[in-house]
Amino acid sequence: MQQRRLGKSNLEVSAIGLGCMGLSGGYGPTIDRLTGVSLIRSAVEHGITFFDTAEIYGPFTNEELVGEALAPFRDQVVIATKFGFDIDPNTNQQRGLDSRPKHIKEVAEASLSRLRTDRIDLFYQHRVDPNVPIEEVAGAVKDLIQQGKVNHFGLSEVGVQTIRRAHAVHPVAAVQSEYSLWWREPEREVLPMLEELGIGFVPFSPLGRGFLTGAINENTRFGNGDFRNLVPRFTPEARKANQALVDLIGEIARRNKVTHAQVALAWLLAQKPWIVPIPGTTKLDRLEENVGAARVELTLDLQNINTRISRILVQGGRYPEHLEWMVDR
């Protein structure tokens, strides 16, 4: 697979990565460990070298799964994980945010153990902690980098002022936020700043949590525990209204003889050479489909796509109201 460099860092990864969160729940039942290990190893065989996890996924079990699956390939892959939540050690329930430097270093040690590795390639702050200055966060990660336990510093769901302040303490290699054909907000301020500072961008939910693949419509029912049951953008009414976007993607897919998902991923790849999406999946055929997007050229359609998308007003918020506080503005 084609490789991409995340900004001005020396962090080189496959053009498409694998978001591993869904292997441990969030969008339905958790798959069994052996199936998860097999899928991750299949991703390596298909050329994926960039794997995204976090302590909060599970919690903890996703890092363990990723660590087991990638142990035989450790020097061939890049592993990204995240810190920033306060997790009750007795119940494994999230209690809020915690990016105190002492806690960051404790999380790093625990993640290293679960991932079966001696270094974390990319360590993101998962969500901005309003109680801890970002300069202290960056300083803690800088210490870990100097100790050889972390290679690169990242931020997630973060605003431009926070990025600039953190970057002044230690270079930020990558920012991870939602970005897709139905959420283009990063284009307003974040992407221009990343280009200015030479920071890579890692879009999560590049397939709109499955909606952009065309496999979901207003009649789709999500299982118990599926996060989409809480998301305003996934109410039946919003899905019906947003079908216009899926129809447009389908039209482009037919013209290019590719799938909906491949159009959505190829569109992201065409925006900037330092953008690396991390679609997640639990199915091998979807993994292969996503990998195939790296070979899709939409250059002749880009202007047309962007013009027509701008005319479609997407309905519904991307987070439920009680979780909006986690997004840094």
Assigned token pair, 140: 């803690």
327: pLDDT strictly greater than 90:
no
Q: How far apart are CA 193 and CA 173, in angstroms?
A: 13
324: pLDDT strictly greater than 90:
no
Helix, coil or strand: residue 4: strand
Q: What one-character DSSP code corresponds to residue 210?
A: G
Task: Please compute the mean of the pLDDT values over residues 295-320 and round it to a whole number.
Answer: 90
Evaluate whether 303 touches 275 at the Cβ level (below 8 Å).
no
Residue that the structure tokens 């810190």 belong to = 83
> What mean pLDDT is reported for the chain?
96
pLDDT at 325: 79
Q: Which residues contact 292 (CB under 8 A, 6 or more apart)?
A: 258, 262
Q: What one-character DSSP code corresponds to residue 180?
A: B
Cα 41–268–240 angle (5° rounding)? Answer: 100
pLDDT at 304: 87
Give, in order, the Cα–Cα distances in Å from 152 to each of 80, 247, 310: 9, 40, 35
Strands (E), the chain: 3-5, 12-14, 18-19, 50-52, 78-83, 85-87, 94-97, 120-125, 150-156, 172-178, 200-204
Q: What is the chain's alpha carbon radius of gyration, rounded to the nearest angstrom?
A: 19
pLDDT at 28: 79
Evaluate whether 51 touches 37 at the Cβ level (below 8 Å).
no
pLDDT at 323: 87
Q: How many helices (H) and strands (E) does the chain have?
A: 10, 11
Q: What is the pLDDT of residues 165-190, one digit of tens each?
A: 999 999 999 999 999 999 999 999 99
Evaluate whether 308 touches 246 at the Cβ level (below 8 Å).
no
pLDDT band at residue 49 using 50, 70 and 90 as cut-offs: very high
pLDDT at 279: 98
Q: 186: buried, middle or exposed (CB in 10 Å: 19+, 13-18, 0-12)? A: buried
pLDDT at 320: 92
Strands (E), 61-179: 78-83, 85-87, 94-97, 120-125, 150-156, 172-178
User: In the annotation, is 57 catalytic?
Assistant: yes
Q: What is the pLDDT of residues 247-294, one digit of tens each?
A: 999 999 999 999 999 999 999 999 999 999 999 999 999 999 999 999
pLDDT at 135: 98
The region that residue 198 occupies, defined by phi over 0 for left and psi between -120 and 50 for alpha, beta otherwise, is left
pLDDT band at residue 326 using 50, 70 and 90 as cut-offs: confident
pLDDT at 75: 98
Q: Of residues 57, 124, 179, 319, which has the active-site annotation? A: 57
Neighbours of 325 (CB within 10 A): 11
Q: Check the CA dihedral 16-20-25-26 and report its sign.
A: negative
302: pLDDT strictly greater than 80:
yes
Q: What is the pLDDT of residues 65-75, one digit of tens each?
A: 999 999 999 99
Evaluate whether 200 touches 5 at the Cβ level (below 8 Å).
yes
Task: Please compute the mean of the pLDDT values over residues 47-63 and round it to a whole number.
Answer: 97
Strand partners, 85: 97
Task: Please compute the mean of the pLDDT values over residues 113-125 and round it to a whole number.
Answer: 98
Q: 25: buried, middle or exposed (CB in 10 Å: 19+, 13-18, 0-12)? A: middle
CATH of domain 3-207+272-296: 3.20.20.100
Q: How far apart are CA 5 and CA 262, in angstroms?
A: 21
Assigned token pair, 306: 């962007």
Q: What is the pLDDT of residues 207-252, one digit of tens each?
A: 999 999 999 999 999 998 899 999 999 999 999 999 999 999 999 9
Q: How far apart are CA 21 and CA 124, in angstroms?
A: 15
